[in-house]
Amino acid sequence: MVALPRFRVATATCAAQTRCDDHVSVTRRDDGLVLALADGAGNDSNGGELARWLVEQVQSRATAAKKLPNADVLARWCEELDQEWFKTGRSGESTLVVASLDGAKVQGASVGDSGAWMVHSGSYDELTGEQRRRPLLGQGRSTIMAFGPVQLMGVLLLATDGLLKYAPEQKIQHLATDANVSVAAARLTDVVRTASGTLHDDVAVIVCRRAE
């Protein structure tokens, strides 16, 4: 009997003001994990509602899928969700990063300025380095870029630009590799706080590592 992969996963979201427009979802399956993170853009609530809807839809599809989705499937989901929201006639734009892990490898798809990093051995690989920043999801014309599969090493970090834009890369690397993923997620959201305790932007993170 093949041993099922086990992961340690922690998430954190923090609002810069009264409403957080960054959202995450984690779907545990017998054959692995599917992670989703979205950052609603703009100053109206529709961006946040779109971001929430996107991660919920990814979770629903991941739960119903017969097998763990690969990068091509995840990219197709993103394209389909972009079209579905656009056809409703509602406004709103959002980034999206989705990733699947089977215990040995990670792969996924993305659009926008949220990111996925593989942090290991004092350095990191930016898995979403080739993604397109515009147009975001919600316009019905986004270009989704797939990534991987790549070997799962160290810690997988998904984060919105509320972290990636305002924290030094070396600090992110150091905090993400804490052996306790819950501590890592909490510290990553705190590192971008100003001296008065406020945030420049909403922050969302998912920290994931293979269980020993």
For tokens 């969700």, the residue is 81
Q: pLDDT tens digit string along 198-211?
A: 999 999 999 999 98
Side-chain-facing half-sphere of 165: CA atoms under 13 Å:
12
Query: How would you write the pLDDT of the chain (212 residues) with one tens digit per residue?
Result: 345 568 999 999 999 999 999 999 999 999 999 999 999 997 778 999 999 999 999 999 999 999 999 999 999 999 999 999 999 999 999 999 999 999 899 999 999 999 999 999 779 999 999 999 999 999 999 999 999 999 999 999 999 999 999 999 999 999 999 999 999 999 999 999 999 999 999 999 999 999 87
Predicted local confidence at residue 84, as pLDDT? 97
Q: pLDDT value at position 2? A: 45
Distance CA 204, CA 95 (A): 12
What would the two tokens of residue 166 be?
């305002």
For residue 4, the model assigns a pLDDT of 58
The whole-number pLDDT of residue 3 equals: 52
The C-alpha atoms of residue 193 and residue 166 are separated, in whole angstroms, by: 9
Give, in words, the CATH class of 7-210: alpha beta
Q: What is the 3-state secondary structure (H, E, C) of 94-119?
A: ECEEEEEECCCEEEEEEECCCEEEEE
Do residues 85 and 41 lie in contact, with contact meaning Cβ atoms separated by under 8 Å? no
Helix (H) or strand (E) holding 189: helix 181-190
Helices (H) and strands (E) in the chain, counts: 5, 11
Domain boundaries, the chain: 7-210
Three-class DSSP labels, 139-174: CCCCCCEEEEEEECCCEEEEECHHHHCCCCHHHHHH
Specify the pTM: 0.96
